[in-house]
Amino acid sequence: MTAASPRKSRWTNGLFVGPYLLVYLALLLYPLLAGVWLSLHKADLFGGEAFVGIENFSRLLRDTVFLQAVRNTFLFVLLTVPPLAVIALGLAIALNRPTRAAAVFRGVFFSSSVLSVTIVTLIWRLVLIPDGGLIANLLHAVGQPPLPLLSHPNLVLPAIALTTVWWCLGLPMMLYLAALQQVPAELYEAAALDRAGPWKTLTRITLPSIRRTIVLVVIIQCVLQFQLFGQAQLLTQGGPNGASRPIVLFIYEVGFRRWDIGYAAAASEILFGLILVATILQYVTTRDKAASR
Amino acid sequence: MRRLRAVALAAVALVLASCAKRDDVTQITVQRIFGECRSAGTGARNPDGECEIITGLLDQFQRENPDIRLKVNIAAWPGYDQLSAQFAAGDPPDLVTMHMSAISDYQSRGLIEPMGPGLESVGVDPAAFTRAAREGVTKNGQVWGLPFDNWAPLWHINLNQFRQAGLVKNGQPILPTSADDLLAQARQFRAATGKPYLVQAMANETASYTRNLYTWLMTQDAAFFPDPKHIKLTTPEAHRIVALFKQMYDENLTTKDQDYPAATSGFMNGDGGVYLVGTWMIGTFEAEAHTPGRPLSGGYAVVPYPRLFGTRDAAFVDGHAWVVPSRERTPAQRAAVYRLVKFLADHDYDWSRTGHLPAMQAVIDSPRFKALPHRQAIAPLATIGQTLPPQVQRQFAIQDIIGDEMASAITGRKPIDTALADAERRVNDLLFHLL
Amino acid sequence: MSALDRAAGRNRWIDRLGWAALTLAAVVMVLPLLWTVGLSLKANGELLRDTASVFRMPYTLENYGSILARPAVFRWLANSLVVSLCTTAGVLVLSSLAGYGFARLEFPGRKWLFALVLFGLAVPEQSVIITRHQLFSALHLHNTYPGLVLPGLAAPFGVFLMTQYFKAIPAELDEAAMLDGASRRQVFWKVLLPLTLPAQATLGIFTFLSSWNDYWWPLISATRSEMFTLTVGVASSQINFAQTSGLGFLMAQAVFASAPILVVYVFFQKYIVRAVSGAAVR
């Protein structure tokens, strides 16, 4: 018998997945488990650790700064994910046509996605600051006073969210476009024959056809935006007084400024837990719906 | 696939190429803050800025010592995130700038080495340091850094606007002597000029708030660090200071919502009368005062914080030092590091042009230093300057907490006493959990 | 006017409104970029006084000249390229192999191992970063190219994508090829791999972009300026005090740093769109 039958189970077949699994185990799973272990210790960045059980976790739940960071993170996800999902969808529907103009627009809306977070914050700092920023200059032109977009606790998260939406719009739009191109043209022809209006076509044909993609976009964006770091670190350093500090920035500060890596690891586990729960929830709810269809 | 292989090969080649540059030249890595300012254009830059001076000095050392190859890492202020990551990775630089207030953090973990023998080997005697500088780098009877300067927050004054407000007498600014006095003068200033009295970096900023608090707690002789593990901020002394700033804020007697760069350019653009910022801006503002047609033209003065509270003259000071991280070095590298240390010690005067107080007593006493503008006005800092207790660890993290809470109180988002209590609790919690 | 005409008229009107909205959105999108380019063309001294001077003459290229005086930027650019290309190549190779293995071959523990990989999808990068930093310290991998590339290879998304893709290819294809006497390796190389090109392109583009834009890991791993990636390098000059006087320069740096990837994007836009659409065929 030659080795040709792929259905036959042999361990040598596993060699194909071996290289990846090695990297995966060493660089993702091991750090994850080591992190769980570390979170049960009082540990210093420069050595020395002592087992403290769940002390780090109970300390986190009493830490107002951490709780504020958790709240900020959720708020930020709420401020970014729905606009990203909806605006990108609108753009994709509008630009899903083979004209040259549509191609140019697609390029415009995707262009910001290729910039790195440092450039994005560099640009947006100069858009947002009240002293000589773009928005302040525009407001000034219409006789309005500048807005303290980076220093007022109620404005700072929306400002970072705006920056993020501007930056991240391209990817979901592309995913939607890809999905839209898979919708069979016959469906639209049938709708046109039925004299369905644009609204009806949208809700009866377009949206149901790309439902899976919508779910995918929401899940991807949730996972991404839960991990907000660079924008907050570079634009506000989490200020004023923690009003824009996300969980990841908290982890960074505790780990690399306070050197309290056991505590930072515990916060990392909570972040992991939150994302895991959010992902599973979305997965389960959408699967149930799909099954009932 | 062939392209893929080419890419991989190119990458390997690049890695090898960067490792292969080994010759007789001794290489050391210097890490510093102070920014990057190499510019193609000429003239526009200020020759007395921190960045320009340190860039020039390191360039000069490199020119004069061709047997040493200096690799300069420029870290973002204050530089400790990067440094901590480097220490954690076991790959720190050979010489690095460090605030005196941060030395105890690294010294207590054995991350930096005592410099006494090294300094002696190149003939730098700690006895030549000023008192403040020597105390700033000495822990447990050993010297842990080469002091480069002492600095303090100061009142930088736009004399042109002060004159307009009637606050100049005999060419000198009239300064307040109490909190009420300050409010009265600030209102007078506002009425006359239409501008706020204070220019402050208040957004995305913590250091400046905290320095204000420290200075005026010191003038009141408040023992706000009863021991290095505890802070005490729920006091009338602290309340008074924060209340004054809140009052100034509420009455629009200060600029608002400016971050550090905005406040700095704002002061140069005539946004207000007094800018609360450190010694390092003297050179920059002095250059501005000599530029015709600018708000500061011919009208710039600088003084230590006036004593608004308490009975003692005091000023919070800190300083920059150069420290040597512990790591393996060849004798040649060690010699190169200390040759650079010696060079920096010898050029302390050049560094002091930026506005900092020199770390070498001989420089302070020298006529050329005294001939620099405004140095007489800030000379008292040498005697009234005071640091936090040197055993207090994590002074930068503490500064962030206090500044955050003060900002909340001053902008009216938290009652003053709540903010101070929160700051106290958070700082004590931080200090309690130090391993 | 017939009902049909009225409907067409209404549609045209909606269309116009739509284009107006689109144009407005595009302006909002582009304005920050134009603002940046404008600032980069002004003398620093002038910006210090008033940023609104952007809307007036004179303009200058002086800031771009200053970039040439600082070769560090070129080094960062090269580092970013090396890291992103290596990461992309590595991810493509590992994911193709593993995807084929999981989708087409049988070996002990296959289901169990695939579930393990799927579990990894829910693990955020940030939550393993501290222990990963310790691991790389122990292995002396910081401030090296492998240190910057390896973490990107562990992400399970590529394996997941490729497995799905291989599964979607009818099994009859490889069986037919094998009947023709092709070996397992030939089937993989000659038959299946070419069919996965759209997925490879998608995965490649996304991997490249996310590696190019990565911030936290290079921030704590590449701590020597000669190993900075572009992201970290630009961040280092951004936080520095130099900002006060060098606004125009910073903006020129931003333009300079984003130009290469924007140009690449403009050139390959067509393929990128096609690749993304291709991957969604499933």
Q: In chain C, which among 245-274 make CB contacts under 8 A with chain B?
A: 245-247, 249
Q: How confident is the model at residue B17 (pLDDT cuts 50, 70, 90)?
A: low
pLDDT of residue B39: 60
* Contact across the interface for B76 and C239, Cβ inside 8 Å: yes
* Contact across the interface for A130 and B257, Cβ inside 8 Å: yes
- Please state, rounded to an integer, the average pLDDT across all residues of chain A: 88
DSSP C104-142: H---TTHHHHHHHHHHHTTS-GGGGHHHHHHHHHHTT-T
Q: How confident is the model at residue B394 (pLDDT cuts 50, 70, 90)?
A: very high
Indicate whether A174 pLDDT > 90. Answer: no
* Contact across the interface for C242 and B36, Cβ inside 8 Å: yes
For chain A, say whether B417 makes contact (Cβ under 8 Å). no
* Contact across the interface for C29 and A11, Cβ inside 8 Å: no
- Give A21's contacts in chain C (Cβ within 8 Å): 98, 113, 117
* Contact across the interface for C221 and B85, Cβ inside 8 Å: yes
pLDDT of residue B156: 97
Number of B to C CB contacts under 8 A, please give it.
Answer: 121
Indicate whether B16 pLDDT > 80. Answer: no
Indicate whether B3 pLDDT > 70. Answer: no
* Contact across the interface for A259 and B202, Cβ inside 8 Å: no
Q: How far is C140 from chain B (nearest CA, A)?
A: 7
Q: What is the pLDDT of residues B247-270, one digit of tens each?
A: 999 999 999 989 888 898 899 999
Question: Which parts of B13-110 are beta strand (E)?
Answer: 26-32, 68-74, 95-99
Q: In chain C, which among 53-92 make CB contacts under 8 A with chain A?
A: none
Q: Which residues, in sequence order, are CB contacts of B240 under 8 Å at separation 6+?
A: B179, B309
Indicate whether A179 pLDDT > 90. Answer: no
pLDDT of residue C246: 75
Indicate whether A96 pLDDT > 80. Answer: yes
- Please state, rounded to an integer, the average pLDDT across all residues of chain B: 91
Q: What is the pLDDT of residues B319-332, one digit of tens each?
A: 999 999 999 999 99
- Give B203's contacts in chain A (Cβ within 8 Å): 148, 150-151, 239-240
* Contact across the interface for B89 and C43, Cβ inside 8 Å: no
For chain A, say whether B215 makes contact (Cβ under 8 Å). no
Question: What is the rounded average pLDDT of the residues A21-32?
Answer: 95
B32, B82, B296, best to mutate vs chain C, most C CBs in 10 Å: B82
Selected residue with higher pLDDT from B417 and C16:
B417
* Contact across the interface for A24 and C125, Cβ inside 8 Å: no
Chains that touch A (3 or more CB pairs under 8 A): B, C
Pairwise CA distance, residues B329 & B332, whole Å: 8
Pairwise CA distance, residues C118 & C111, whole Å: 10
Report the percent of chain A where pLDDT is more than 90. Answer: 53
Q: How confident is the model at residue B342 (pLDDT cuts 50, 70, 90)?
A: very high
Q: How far is C240 from chain A (nearest CA, A)?
A: 11
Question: What is the rounded average pLDDT of the residues A180-200?
Answer: 83
For chain A, say whether C160 makes contact (Cβ under 8 Å). no
Q: B265: nearest CA in chain A? A: A131
In the chain, the amino acid numbered B388 is L
Indicate whether B4 pLDDT > 60. Answer: no
Q: What is the pLDDT of residues B349-376, one digit of tens each?
A: 999 998 999 999 999 999 999 999 999 8
pLDDT of residue B60: 96
Q: How far is A89 from chain C (nearest CA, A)?
A: 13
Q: C243: nearest CA in chain B? A: B261
Q: How confident is the model at residue B64 (pLDDT cuts 50, 70, 90)?
A: very high
Number of A to B CB contacts under 8 A, please give it.
Answer: 81
pLDDT of residue A7: 62
Indicate whether B2 pLDDT > 70. Answer: no
Peptide bond into C58 cis (omega under 30): yes
User: B358 - beta bridge partners?
Assistant: B149
- Give B21's contacts in chain C (Cβ within 8 Å): none
For chain A, say whether B67 makes contact (Cβ under 8 Å). no
B216-225, B236-245, B303-312, C119-128: least confident range: C119-128
Report the percent of chain A where pLDDT is more than 70. Answer: 95
- Please state, rounded to an integer, the average pLDDT across all residues of chain C: 84
Residue B326, phi-psi category: left (phi > 0), alpha (psi -120 to 50), beta (remainder): beta
Indicate whether B57 pLDDT > 70. Answer: yes
CB C226 within 8 A of CB C75: yes
Q: Which of A171-185, B339-353, C211-225 has the highest mean pLDDT?
A: B339-353
- Residue ranges of chain C with pLDDT lower than 70? 1-10, 238-245, 270-282
Q: Report which of B339, B318, B304, B315 is spatially closest to residue B133, judged by C-alpha positions.
A: B318
Indicate whether A157 pLDDT > 90. Answer: yes
pLDDT of residue B43: 44
Q: Which residues, in sequence order, are CB contacts of C261 under 8 Å at separation 6+?
A: A114, A115, C212
Q: B268: nearest CA in chain C? A: C49
Question: What is the rounded average pLDDT of the residues B338-345?
Answer: 97
Of B39, B46, B74, Cβ closest to residue C69: B39
pLDDT of residue A189: 85
* Contact across the interface for C48 and B265, Cβ inside 8 Å: yes
Selected residue with higher pLDDT from C48 and B311:
B311
Report the percent of chain B where pLDDT is more than 70. Answer: 93
What burial letters (b/e) apply to A205-243, b meaning 16+ CB within 10 Å? bbeebbeebbbbbbbbbbbbbbbbbbbbbbbbbbbbbbb
Indicate whether A3 pLDDT > 50. Answer: no
CB B435 within 8 A of CB A260: yes
* Contact across the interface for A17 and C238, Cβ inside 8 Å: no
Question: What is the rounded average pLDDT of the residues B82-105?
Answer: 94
For chain A, say whether C273 makes contact (Cβ under 8 Å). yes
Chains that touch B (3 or more CB pairs under 8 A): A, C
- Give A249's contacts in chain B (Cβ within 8 Å): none
Q: What is the pLDDT of residues B124-155, one digit of tens each?
A: 999 999 988 999 999 989 999 999 999 999 99
pLDDT of residue C281: 40
Task: Looking at B108-233, list the stretches that DSSP marks H as alpha helix, in order from N- to C-terminal side.
Answer: 116-121, 131-137, 159-164, 179-193, 207-219
Pairwise CA distance, residues A215 & A222, whole Å: 11
Q: Report which of B20, A122, A42 is spatially closest to residue C256, judged by C-alpha positions.
A: A122
Q: What is the pLDDT of residues B95-126, one digit of tens each?
A: 999 999 999 999 999 999 999 999 999 999 99
pLDDT of residue A71: 97
B18-27, B414-423, C230-239: least confident range: B18-27
Q: How confident is the model at residue B211 (pLDDT cuts 50, 70, 90)?
A: very high
DSSP B207-230: HHHHHHHHHHHHHTT--S-SBTTB
CB C199 within 8 A of CB C279: yes
Q: What is the pLDDT of residues A34-70, one digit of tens each?
A: 999 999 999 999 878 899 999 999 999 999 999 999 9
Q: What is the pLDDT of residues A227-248, one digit of tens each?
A: 999 999 999 999 899 999 999 9
Q: C228: nearest CA in chain B? A: B73
> ipTM score of the complex?
0.88
* Contact across the interface for B269 and C93, Cβ inside 8 Å: no
